[in-house]
Chains A and B, each alone.
Chain A
């Protein structure tokens, strides 16, 4: 949504001058950065746990009922 209606979103009280391209780019860039960063951290954590579980499972003896 940010990418599609960027010019509309920039029409807020704190955006100083929407015609200022450098400022608009910074605002958009930082919005994307702050949105993706927590998702990236959570994804990284999940990836680490899955990798660790798989590594542990590969060293376990087979289940007696299997």
Chain B
């Protein structure tokens, strides 16, 4: 009996299936794709409205807080750096990632609270949702981003508890990091288009 005959009788086991992308990361990536198109639509509408307006932003309306928001932007970018560091630490042991993860959470929370404070100040100065087209776009785009940050923070707080219990899977953590990078990476683009 030849080796070929033996292989026909006892075929070799099927090759091991290997995931190219973890399911959690793939699902998050597809979701991010839809989010990218949502914000691209907003930016597109904003840009066309800005180009059509004789003055943009319209005169006689409160000025957007460029400098303070730049500081807030820095905090958000730092939170992504902390998240990246948490990812690196996680590979060495989940417990080691806790401090960096907590820093990312704290900086993200700071961003949302600070932005809430800025909105409160702008509303007090008379910049409402219906003050102008510019103001409407501002609240819509920045508010939608803030909702995404709040949602991501909620998920991250839940995952932080799992991290503390030692039940956070690397795939879910990778998906959470990916979403946070998206939320953070999107903000400088929005800041550039809406504030500057």
Instruction: Determine whether A19 belongs to the interface, using a CB cutoff of 8 Å to chain B.
Output: no
Alpha-carbon distance between A31 and B62 when the two chains are bound, in angstroms? 31
**Contact residues of A between 7 and 66, Cβ < 8 Å to B:** 16, 20, 22-23, 25-27, 29-30, 33-34, 37-38, 41, 45, 48-49, 52-53, 56, 64
Contact, CB under 8 Å: B40 / A37: yes
Q: Using known A-B contacts A41-B33, A52-B20, determine if residue A30 contacts B52 with beta carbons closer than 8 Å.
A: no
Contact, CB under 8 Å: A34 / B21: no
Alpha-carbon distance between A29 and B46 when the two chains are bound, in angstroms? 13
Contact, CB under 8 Å: A30 / B48: yes
Q: A65 CB to closest chain B CB, in angstroms?
A: 9
Contact, CB under 8 Å: B51 / A25: yes
B48 cross-chain contacts in A, Cβ below 8 A = 23, 26-27, 30
Q: B177 CB to closest chain A CB, in angstroms?
A: 16
Q: Using known A-B contacts A49-B21, A52-B21, determine if residue A22 contacts B51 with beta carbons closer than 8 Å.
A: yes
Count residues of chain B with CB under 8 A from any CB of chain A.
18
Contact, CB under 8 Å: B52 / A37: no
Alpha-carbon distance between A26 and B53 when the two chains are bound, in angstroms? 12
Contact, CB under 8 Å: B37 / A38: yes
Instruction: Determine whether B178 belongs to the interface, using a CB cutoff of 8 Å to chain A.
Output: no
Mostly, the B contact residues are helix
Chain A interface size, under 10 / 10 to 19 / 20 to 34 / 35 or more: 20 to 34
**Contact residues of B between 11 and 35, Cβ < 8 Å to A:** 12, 18, 20-21, 29, 33
Alpha-carbon distance between A63 and B180 when the two chains are bound, in angstroms? 41
Q: Using known A-B contacts A20-B52, A38-B37, A64-B12, determine if residue A30 contacts B44 with beta carbons closer than 8 Å.
A: yes
Alpha-carbon distance between A58 and B49 when the two chains are bound, in angstroms? 51
Closest to B18 in A: A56
Give 20 A-B pairs besides A26-B47, A27-B51 with Cβ atoms closer than 8 angstroms. Answer: A16-B52, A20-B51, A23-B48, A23-B52, A25-B51, A26-B50, A27-B48, A30-B44, A30-B47, A33-B40, A34-B41, A34-B44, A37-B37, A38-B37, A41-B33, A45-B29, A52-B20, A56-B20, A64-B7, A64-B12
